């Protein structure tokens, strides 16, 4: 009797594993990030910098961060072709430094770097999932810090946040 219960449990476990794996493969590929990805290839174009204040490293840094985020969190392959399953195009709309906080003596204590991007996402397998949207993120820094000394770190941090937002909108439907 104990042997039969052990064999039955084993069969139930195998059945659960098989049904789960077949169920996940039936319509979409799901990743541990919660993303539903139907395709295999993506073309992420260079995100051009059209912001009035132009920083030469911003466009390549942001584009690379976006590519890294999507490729590392999915099984998609980057192809430089228009016959891919997904296409991401866009441009940087804003690169702005503003005052974020004023101290009691009415001097600036914190500044804010804001980066905005416009993204056009095309899903060749499901046109209803296409979108054209603006995304914006910022990072605050102490006013006594030299912007040139911390600018690359701020750009990297904000680019990571924007890449997360774009990935979630395109594949997780947040």
Give the three-class secondary structure for 97.
Answer: strand
Question: Which residues fall within 8 angstroms of residue 124, CB to CB, at 6 or more apart?
Answer: 39, 84, 85, 86, 87
Report yes or no: 122 and 133 within 8 Å, Cβ to Cβ.
no
Q: Which fold has domain 39-172?
A: Double Stranded RNA Binding Domain (3.30.160)
Going by C-alpha positions, the residue among 84, 102, 95, 91 that lies closest to residue 143 is: 102
Rounded to two decimals, the pTM is 0.77
Residues 6+ away with beta carbon under 8 Å from 91: 47, 48, 49, 50, 117, 118
pLDDT tens-place values along the chain, 174 residues long: 555 555 556 555 555 554 444 444 433 444 444 567 888 999 999 999 999 998 999 999 999 999 999 999 999 999 988 789 999 999 999 999 988 776 666 666 889 999 999 999 999 999 999 999 999 999 999 888 888 899 999 999 999 999 999 999 999 865
């Amino acid at each position: 009797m104990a042997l039969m219960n052990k064999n039955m449990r084993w069969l139930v476990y195998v059945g659960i594993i098989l049904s789960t794996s077949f169920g996940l493969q039936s319509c979409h590929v799901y990743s541990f990030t919660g993303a539903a990805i139907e395709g295999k290839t993506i073309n992420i174009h260079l995100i051009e910098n059209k912001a009035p204040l132009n920083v030469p490293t911003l466009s390549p840094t942001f584009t690379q961060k976006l590519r890294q985020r999507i490729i590392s969190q999915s099984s998609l392959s980057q192809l430089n072709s228009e016959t891919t399953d997904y296409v991401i195009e866009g441009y940087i709309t804003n690169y702005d430094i503003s005052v974020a906080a004023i101290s009691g003596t009415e001097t600036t204590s914190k500044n804010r770097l804001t980066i905005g991007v416009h993204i056009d996402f095309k899903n060749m397998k499901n046109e209803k999932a296409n979108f054209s949207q603006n995304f914006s993120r910022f990072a605050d820094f102490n006013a006594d810090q030299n912007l040139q000394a911390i600018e690359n770190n701020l750009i990297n941090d904000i680019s990571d946040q924007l890449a997360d937002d774009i990935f979630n909108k395109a594949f997780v439907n947040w």
